Structure 1
Amino acid sequence: MIDKNDKIALRQILMEHYTDPDHKAPVTPMPNSFIKYQDSPTCSDEINVQITYENQKVTKAIFDGVTCSISGAAIDILCDQITNQSKAEALKILSNYHNMIVGEVYDETTLGELIAFHNIYSQRNRINCALLGADGLRYILEEEVK
């Protein structure tokens, strides 16, 4: 488990996912895939998130666009965590993450690297950054995936 009090380790997680994301790739329409455009109301961040859903699982989650370090790292980690999950499991991850970001009760034992964002709720101007990609993923799963 990651120590949420180790500021150096948390910063390292953020920077690794921002500077060398595993899930940043061109977003193109494909069978069984859904795309959602997300733009921030408070800055210039804008991304497309894409989920491929097959055999009752998220088989691929990617994003592309312009991000700050918070939104870029968050969507990269989220894509990693929801891949190979069922719709219900992915939504549970997204809900738990959302609760943490807005300062509500959450289960920190299931967050993995997302725990790096545990203090975002105290930085009100960064909440939109941390939720930009998550909101797009949640929209796809709730509204598009049947």
Structure 2
Amino acid sequence: MFDKNDKIQLRQIIMEHYTQPDFKGLIDNNQSIIKFQDSPTCSDEINVQLLIENNIIKEARFDGNACAISTASTDILCYKLKNLEVKEAQNQLLNYYNMISGNDYDESILEELIAFWEINKQGNRINCALLGADGFKSILNKEV
């Protein structure tokens, strides 16, 4: 369990996923779907990738250059979405969007994504926290 009030732990989560992302690097699979994402407010540019087979996300990846918030949130989202059914993944994303926008959310399913719970207080960082999520959402909405 992660303590959202432990600022040091939250910073460590973000920095670990920024400096050593587990899901950075696209896979070579012509069945996967790749979506280019660029930030309207900075120079962040990433590609997000999902491989969906039989309504299950078999792989979630990303690549590109982005800030710590964009990179870490996208890396954690890859972990959270992998092996979920499309509808489950959409629910995970909806819960994450609710947290980022300051609405009610289910903290119990966020795991490391809780590191971004106060992003809504930093308007200039919201786009960073949603860069990867927006791409994954776009891909999943086309799969339904």
1:33-90 CA distance string (max 9 Å, x none): 1110000000000000000001220000000001100000000000000000000000
Kept in 2, the 8 Å contact 1:53–1:59? The answer is: yes
1:103-123 CA distance string (max 9 Å, x none): 111111110000000000000
The letter for the 2-side match of 1:9 is Q
Distance 2:121 2:89 in 1: 25
Q: Which residue of 1 aligns with 2:58?
A: 59
Q: Which residue of 1 aligns with 2:24?
A: 24
> Which structure 2 residue ranges, 5 or more long, are not aligned?
none
Kept in 2, the 8 Å contact 1:27–1:64? The answer is: no
Kept in 2, the 8 Å contact 1:27–1:49? The answer is: no
The letter for the 1-side match of 2:139 is I
Q: Which residue of 2 aligns with 1:95?
A: 94
> Which structure 1 residue ranges, 5 or more long, are not aligned?
none
Q: Which residue of 2 aligns with 1:5?
A: 5
Q: Which residue of 1 aligns with 2:45?
A: 46
Kept in 1, the 8 Å contact 2:100–2:120? The answer is: yes
Q: Which residue of 1 aligns with 2:105?
A: 106
Q: Which residue of 1 aligns with 2:114?
A: 115
In the superposition, the TM-score normalised over structure 1's length comes to: 0.96
4+ residue runs of structure 1 moved beyond 6 angstroms? none
* Identity %, equivalent residues: 58
Secondary structure of 2:2's match? coil
1:78 aligns with 2:77: yes
Distance 2:76 2:37 in 1: 17
1:14 aligns with 2:14: yes
Kept in 1, the 8 Å contact 2:26–2:49? The answer is: no
Distance 1:88 1:81 in 2: 13
Q: How many corresponding residue pairs?
A: 144
Q: How large is the RMSD of aligned CA atoms in angstroms? A: 1.0
Distance 2:137 2:69 in 1: 18
